Structure 1
Amino acid sequence: MNKMIKNVVIVFACLISTFAIFSLKKSDTAFADNGSAEIVMELNSKRVLYAKNETVRKFMASTTKILTAITVIENFDVNSLVTVTKETVGVEGSSIYLEAGEVLTVKDLLFGLMLRSGNDCAETLAVYCSGSIENFACLMNETARKIGAVNSHFVNPHGLHNDGHFTTAYDLALISCYAMKNDIFREIVSTKTVEIPFSTRNYNRRLVNKNKMLKEFEGSTGIKTGFTKKAGRCLVSSCRRNGMELISVVLNCPPMFERSKELLADCFNEYSYEKILEADDIIDFVEIKDSDKKCAIYVKNDIYLPLTKMEKKNFSVVYDYPDKLVPPLEKDETVGTIKIYYENNLLFSEKVYNIVEVN
C-alpha cells in the first residue's frame, strides 16, 4: 500500500481508537490490586489450560513490543531502510543506543526491539512506519482489535508507563498466539544472538536475547520480557513439546522465569496434543434445496486439541449444519460448525464449509 494512503488510514483509525477509549466507563478501566495475572494458552486452538486473574486489566511494560513487532511486520516491508532521526534516540529505559543518521533495515530494528527491548528501536519504527507515536499506537489498537484483544489499549510502542496503556493476560496471550504464527516474528523472537550494523562505527552490534527461557527451558521458542515499576516483572513465553506449543503470560510476577517454567511444565504434564479431525475430512454430503444433488461439507484445517487423560476418554463431537443447503453458495462458505465438548463444557469450535460452488 502507498505509504501516504496508509498514513491517512491510520489517522482515521486513530480517531476511532480515541473514541473507543474515552467511551469506556470508569468501572471498565478498574485495575486489580498488586497481585499477579497468569495464563497458559495453546497456540492453535487458543484453549486456556490455566488462568488466574486473566481478564483483569494490568500494565504490561515491554511485552507491549509483541504487538509493536507484529504490527510493523504485517504492514511494512522488513527489508526497507530506515534512517534514524534525532527525535528517536536517547529514549528513556532500555536501548541499543541508536545514533541519529544511522541507517538500518526494519528487520534490524525489530531484532533490537525484541532481543534487547530497545525503546529507541520502538520509537524509530513507530515514526518511520506511521509518522508519529500517536498514529502508530492507533495502528496497534486496530491490530489488537482484529486479533480479538478487546480489553486492551495501547498509547505507545514500548510500554513505558501510561495510565491509558494496559492489557489483560488473556488479551496478551491472544496477541502472542497470533504473532507466533508469523514466520518473521517467530524467527526474531527465537534468536538467541544476532549481529546488526552499527553504521556510524566500524563494527557491528552484537545483540543477546534477554529471554533466559530460550537457554534454560527445553523447547522454548520465544518471546518477550518486560519490567517497569508500575507493571512489575512481566514475561510472555512460548514452548513446544511433542507437537504442542503453549503460550504462558505472567504479569506483575517477581519470579517471572521460575513461575513461567512451573506453569508450562505443569500444563505439558497434564495435557497431550490429540488429533480430532484431519484437514479436508468430509463431514457429510448434504442435500441441495430444489435439486437431486448433494454437496460435500468439510473442515479446512487439521483440528488438534490439548486434552487431559480423562477428556480423551470422554469428549464428544457435535455437528451443527442444515438439512439442506440453499443456493447460491460460493465455494468455501461457512455452512455450519463442529463443536467439541467435555461433559457440558465447550472446548473448541470450528467452521464447516461447502467443498464446491452450489447453484
Structure 2
Amino acid sequence: SEPSVSAKAAAVVNADDGAVLYAKNERQHLAIASTTKIMTALLTLEAARDENRAVTISAEMIRVEGSSMGLRAGDRLTLRDLAAGMLSVSGNDAANAAALAVAGTQQAFADKMNAKAAALGLKDTHFVTPSGLDDGAHYSCAYDMAQLACAAMKNADFAEIAGKKALRVRFLSPAVTRTFPNHNKLLSQYAGCNGVKTGFTDKAGRCLVSSAERNGVRVIAVTLNDPDDWRDHKALLDYGFSKLTGRAFDDSSFRLSLPVAGGAAQSVAVRGSDGGSRVLRTEEAQGLVRTVELPQFVYAPVEEGQALGCVRYTAGGVTVAQTELTAAGNVPRFVQKNWLQKLWEGIRRLFSRR
C-alpha cells in the first residue's frame, strides 16, 4: 500500500527515466529552501568540467546569511570544491560565490538556472537565488525537483560528491584541507542511499531530496515542507523499490539450428546475445512473456553474424526488451556441378593416387 507521509508535497520516481511511482500534491508550487543547491551545484560542476578554475573569494561573495562553509575574503578554492561546500554543509556562501564566479551576477546566474530548468522540462519551477533563501518568486514542486535530481545524479561529478558522508576540501589559499560532514543523514541510515540534498527555511519547512540504489534499481524521493522527512523518506524509498525490479535479458547461451535452403550445409547454428538489463515495473517483470522469433528456414548464402531473428520479451502485449539472434557460422550456396566438372575431378583423383 502507498505510504502515508506528513509532507505538504511528495514524489517518488524511477531515477532512470523519471517515471512517477508515488505522488502527493506533486505539482503544487512551494518554497524549496536549500534543495535549490542541486541546480546550483549542477551548473557549477558543468562549468568546472570545462575549466575547474580557482576562485578568489570576495567580500561580496560571502555577503549572505544562513548556513555556511566558513569562507572568508581572500580564500582561494576551485569551483568543484565550492560545489562540495554546497552539497555537504549547504553553504550559502559557497553557492553565492559559485554563482558570481560562473555568471558574474546573481541575476545572470538565476537566468542560467531557469534556462537549465526549461531545458529539463521543469514547467513549475522558477529560481531567483543560488542558495534557496526565501523569495516569493523562488519556487518549484515535488515533481520538478525529482526530475532535476534525476538529471543531477547522472552527472558523475555531482553523484560522487552528493554520495559522500564527509567531503574533504583543499583550499589553495590558505593551504589547508578541511573536512565537511554531509547533512544528509540517510547516507548513514538507509542502505543504498547515495544522495542528494537537505533544505530548511521557516517558509519552506523541512525539504529533502534523496536517492538510493539497490540491485541496479535507482529511486529518487522528494518531500517538501515535511516535519518528519527522515522517516518519510525511508518509507518512500522502500515503496519505490517495491514497485521496480531489475531484469537481465541475457540470451548469450541460446543455441539452435536453423535449416538452410540451397546451402552447402543443411543447417546453420543460431547464436543468442546479451541484451543487458532494464528496470521494469514489478508487475511487468512478473508478467513477462518470452517469445523466440525465427523463420522456418533461411536461404543460402548465410554469413556469420547475419541477423536471423530475435527473442522478444513482452508485458501486456507491449515489447519491453528484445535480444538479437545471429548466425554462428558461414553457409555458402550449394553449387551443382555439371558432367564436365565431375569428369575432370574424377581424372584428378585418379592421377593423384599414383
What code does the residue aligned with 2:17 have?
A: S
Unaligned runs of 5+ in 1: 1-33, 279-300, 318-339, 350-359
> For residues 144-200 of structure 1, what are the alpha-carbon distances to aligned partners after superposition, in whole Å with 9 as ceiling and x for unaligned?
111111210001111000010001111011110011011111111011112223455
- CA change 1:73–1:202 in 2 (3 A) is closer
Unaligned runs of 5+ in 2: 1-5, 252-274, 291-312, 322-354
1:79 aligned partner: 52
1:55 aligned partner: 27
SS at match of 2:227: coil
- CA change 1:202–1:82 in 2 (3 A) is closer
Q: How far apart, in 1, do the equivalents of 2:199 and 2:315 lie?
A: 36
1:163 aligned partner: 136
SS at match of 1:162: coil
2:334 aligned partner: none
2:234 aligned partner: 261
2:261 aligned partner: none
Percent identical: 39
2:3 aligned partner: none
2:146 aligned partner: 173
Whether contact under 8 Å (1:80, 1:105) holds in the other structure is yes
Query: Matches of residues 88-127 of structure 1 in structure 2 within 5 Å?
Result: 88-127=61-100
1:306 aligned partner: 280
1:282 aligned partner: none
Q: CA deviation at 1:101?
A: 1.1
- CA change 1:166–1:341 in 2 (3 A) is farther
2:16 equivalent to 1:44: yes
Q: How far apart, in 2, do the equivalents of 1:142 and 1:247 lie?
A: 23
2:121 equivalent to 1:148: yes
SS at match of 1:149: coil
2:186 aligned partner: 213
SS at match of 2:60: helix
TM-score normalised to structure 1 length: 0.69
2:341 aligned partner: none
1:352 aligned partner: none
Tell me whether 53-62 or 68-77 shows the greater mean CA deviation: 68-77
Q: How far apart, in 2, do the equivalents of 1:197 and 1:227 lie?
A: 27
Q: CA deviation at 1:58?
A: 1.1
- CA change 1:315–1:163 in 2 (3 A) is farther
Match among 104, 111, 114 for residue 131 of structure 1:
104
Q: Which has the larger radius of gyration?
A: 2
- CA change 1:199–1:40 in 2 (3 A) is same
Q: CA deviation at 1:304?
A: 2.3
SS at match of 1:135: helix
Q: How far apart, in 2, do the equivalents of 1:198 and 1:276 lie?
A: 47
CA RMSD of aligned residues (A): 2.7
- CA change 1:43–1:103 in 2 (3 A) is same
Q: How far apart, in 1, do the equivalents of 2:77 and 2:197 lie?
A: 22
Whether contact under 8 Å (1:47, 1:347) holds in the other structure is no
Q: How far apart, in 2, do the equivalents of 1:315 and 1:195 lie?
A: 47
Alignment length (residue pairs): 270
